[in-house]
A and B are shown apart, each in its own frame.
Chain A
Amino acid sequence: MVKRILAIVFILIIGLWMAKALDQVPFGEDRMLVGKYYLEHVKEETGAVNAVTAVVVNYRGFDTLGEVTVLFIASTGVAALLWRNRRKRTAKTEGSVVLTTGARLLLPFIMLFGAYIFIHGHLTPGGGFPGGATIATAFLFLYLAFTVYEIDHRIFEPLEGLAGIGYVTVGLIGLAIGGYFLFDWIWQTWGLGKENIGRLLSAGFIPIIYTLIGIKVGTELTGIVDNMVKEPEEGGQ
């Protein structure tokens, strides 16, 4: 009990301290500096309508590369930590009829929807991350519905690696063509799609990168789920 009170006092001190500092950053005021630059130049410099996407993929592309890497580390780490000689799924009961048929029927639609989200990332809210998560949800449904279902590791792991290699390669092509790593060569050097800003075929390499991210995020999250579901067999260590 003493400890709990101590903890609460300590936490309240931190809270007051943060609140005092936040008072100096009033809510709802316009303090944009670099943000204003982004909003004013986003269409001509990247061709994207959704400024957040342009910031994520173009202006702060390094962050996104790092973010994809973090997810890659997580999926690799989960696979490394839960690695055993022999593993299998131990669920006993099949899902109900609704779940099994639903999962079978809905799978292509959910995947199409995920693909739609990440291809339209430069126009509407969304992008590679929610798109990939949607695809992973489809596989999660399959795992819940069928007791013996398992993804094909010979396809998934290399696909994950290939998507990552694709991202780095797009960046390196930018280095070769434009002289900068992650340079948007499609938009800034070739000028493709300048006339249809606001339609699908525009915004330089954003759709390409978001497709790669979508595939990567989808496979990685599915891999994490797969590793969490399978339990070690008796005696297999």
Chain B
Amino acid sequence: MNPYYFASIALILIGFYAVLVKRNVIKMLVGLSIMETGVNLLLISVGYVSGKSAPILSEGITPDKAVDPIPQALVLTAIVIGVATTALALSVVINLYEKYKTLNVEEIRRLRG
């Protein structure tokens, strides 16, 4: 298996593990960020064509010598969306800490059943 594919799946799984197992809210968000990085790497690797160069068509690079531009455009969007989610989640965390004075999710379970 290709190292880039391997790395992206590994990053997704490590991030998912953090979300599932860790009890610290910020640690869970770190996990989500790592997952997003893994997904971005996966998308770019899917669009890569071996032996071709970046899709900037200057200096003698003809269309048949460039890699697929679409996944790159998608990842640009995905990165920005990821940061937006992270920033919003962190402001939720700040509010939560002001109310409960803890970051441990086990201690902030008020809503049940």
> Do A and B interact with each other, yes or no?
yes
Binding site for B on A (CB under 8 A): 3-4, 7-8, 10-12, 14-15, 18-19, 22-23, 25, 27-32, 34-36, 38-40, 42-43, 49-52, 54-56, 60, 63-64, 66-67, 70-71, 73-75, 77-78, 81-82, 123-125, 127, 129, 198, 217, 224, 227-228, 232
Instruction: For the complex, give the distance between the alpha carbons of A215 and B6 in Å.
Output: 38
B92–A81 CB distance below 8 A = yes
Q: Which chain B residues lie closer than 8 Å to A27 at the CB level? A: 2, 4-5, 45, 48, 50
- Bitwise interface map of B from 3 to 19 toward A, beta carbon under 8 Å scored 1, else 0: 01100011011001100
By beta carbon, the residue of chain A nearest B42 is: A22
Asked whether any CB of chain A lies closer than 8 Å to the CB of B70, the reply is yes
**Contact A82 B20, beta carbon cutoff 8 Å:** no
How far apart are the CA atoms of A27 and B40 in the complex, in Å?
A: 15
Contact (A198, B58) CB under 8 Å given A27-B4, A71-B84 = yes
Closest to A78 in B: B91
| Closest Cβ neighbor of B45 among chain A residues | A27
**Top 3 A-B residue pairs of the complex, sorted by shortest distance between their CB atoms:** A28-B50, A74-B84, A39-B63
- Looking at B13, B58, B73, B79, the one whose CB has the most chain A CB atoms below 10 A away is B73
| Chain B interface residues toward A at CB < 8 A | 1-2, 4-5, 9-10, 12-13, 16-17, 20-21, 42, 45-51, 54-58, 63-64, 66, 68-70, 72-74, 76-77, 79-81, 83-85, 87-88, 90-92, 94-95, 98
Known contacts: A49-B56, A63-B73. The answer to whether A7 contacts B20 by CB under 8 A is yes
Report whether A35 and B69 are in contact in the complex, using a CB–CB cutoff of 8 Å: yes
For A74, list chain B residues within 8 Å (CB).
83-85, 87-88
Supplied contacts A81-B92, A125-B56, 15 more A-B pairs, CB within 8 Å: A7-B17, A7-B21, A15-B12, A25-B46, A27-B45, A28-B2, A28-B48, A35-B47, A38-B70, A39-B55, A39-B57, A49-B56, A49-B57, A51-B56, A51-B57
B9 touches A70 (CB 8 A): no
A49 contacts across to B, CB distance below 8 A: 56-58
Name 8 interchain pairs, CB-CB below 8 A, sorted by A: A14-B13, A22-B5, A28-B50, A39-B55, A49-B58, A51-B55, A63-B77, A78-B87
Bound-state CA distance A82–B88 (Å) is: 10
The answer to whether B69 touches A39, judged by C-beta atoms less than 8 angstroms apart, is: yes
Smallest Cβ-Cβ distance to B77: which chain A residue: A67
Give A63's nearest chain B residue, CB to CB.
B77
CB distance from A102 to the nearest CB of B (A): 25
User: How many whole Å from A137's CB to the nearest CB in chain B?
Assistant: 13
B residues less than 8 Å from A32 (CB atoms)? 49, 68
Cβ 8 A contact of B81, one of A12, A67, A123: A67
CB distance from B23 to the nearest CB of A (A): 11
Measured between alpha carbons, how far is A202 from B12 in the docked complex, in Å? 40
Closest partner residue, chain A, to B94 (CB atom): A82
Separation of A28 and B47 alpha carbons in the complex (Å): 8
Distance to closest chain B CB from A213 (angstroms): 10
**Residue with the greatest number of chain A CB neighbours at <10 A, chosen from B9, B63, B68, B69:** B69
**Do A70 and B91 form a contact, CB below 8 Å, given A11-B13, A198-B58?**
no
